[in-house]
Structure formats: C-alpha cells, structure tokens
Amino acid sequence: MNKTIGLFVGSLRKESYSKKIAKAIAEMAPEGFIFKQISLENLPIYNQDFDDYGLAPEEYLKFRNEVKSLDGFIFITPEYNRSIPGVLKNAVDVGSRPKGESVWNGKPGAVFSSSPGNLSGFGANHHLRQCLVSLNVPVMQQPEVYLAKVHEIFDENGKINEKTLEFLQKAVDAYIEWFGKIAD
C-alpha cells in the first residue's frame, strides 16, 4: 500500500518559488509513495473559540482529516522576516488543535527552506522545526535543506536547474530512507 507524504507550501503567491519547488519534489516520489500538495489557501485564521464552542469551520475539519490521513510531511517554505510565513504557522496551529487531537503527532517530517538572500531561509527552517518538536513531529536532521538565492535556481521557463534538482533528489531520497526507519 502506498505511503502518502503531504507537501505543505508556506506561500500563497501564484508564482511562488516554494510552489515551484514543491511541484518538482512531487515528481520525485519513489515507487510506493505518493507526494500530495496540501492547500493552505482557504484555511481561516485559527481561533480557539471555534473548537471550544463546537464551531470549527468546515475548512478546519477538512484540513484536519486530510492531514490525519497522511503518513508524513515535507514542508517547503520561504522565509518571512526571519521566520515562517503566517499561512504555514496557521496550518500548523489548526492541525494541532483541539488540544490532545493533533493530526501531526508522531509522523515523520522534513523542512526545506529558501530565500532570495544568502541565509537561505535558515530562520524559517529552525522556527518551523521548533514548532514541530512541540507537536511531536520527528524532523529529518540530515541533510539540511536550505536554498539560498532561490530566484537564481530557475531558468526563464521557471524550471529548476540540474544542480538544484540533484540536491533536492538527494534530500528526498534521504527523507524516504529515514522515513522507512522511523515510520510505524
């Protein structure tokens, strides 16, 4: 039976670099795996009152059920102000509630970050890891995936250059190997 890995993109921008990276990663799924991009576009901002009073929006319920059905996660995120974008943090929060019912719990994750600058999303990568530790998501340690000067890895047609694709393939292969060691 295939294992399904959710791809979570921390950008809503139509032509985002993270979406293009996620598309390339989706095509790298090995036999026995399905890589599925999970949309964050219509997820309302988390408000605990929704859960406390049984008013969770349909989008919360749909998102939680979809994430619950996944076997693992790869987060592909840009860096906003030295941290993770609000849309990604919101998704993490929505999936972590109500208390004691986190859909993230115990499933293997990986974080791939990028930025147009030299720091390559280091802050976003580590802030997301910090959130995931709190949610009991084991996160792949090596290789670390930081893509600096992300705007330079694409050609005029929006395709990722070979050197970066090779790096991403090695990271995906490492995740799959690591997943096999720790997944139930």
Q: What is the 3-state secondary structure (H, E, C) of 30-72?
A: CCCEEEEEECCCCCCCCCHHHHHCCCCCHHHHHHHHHHHCCCE
pLDDT of residue 1: 87
pLDDT at 119: 81
Share of the chain above pLDDT 90, in %: 93
pLDDT attached to residue 117:
85
Q: Does domain 3-182 have CATH number 2.60.40.10?
A: no
Domain limits, the chain: 3-182
Rounded mean pLDDT, 161-176: 98
Per residue in 107-132, pLDDT (tens digit) is 999 999 999 988 879 999 999 999 99
Look at residue 132 and give its three-state secondary structure: helix
Mean pLDDT score, 12-24: 95
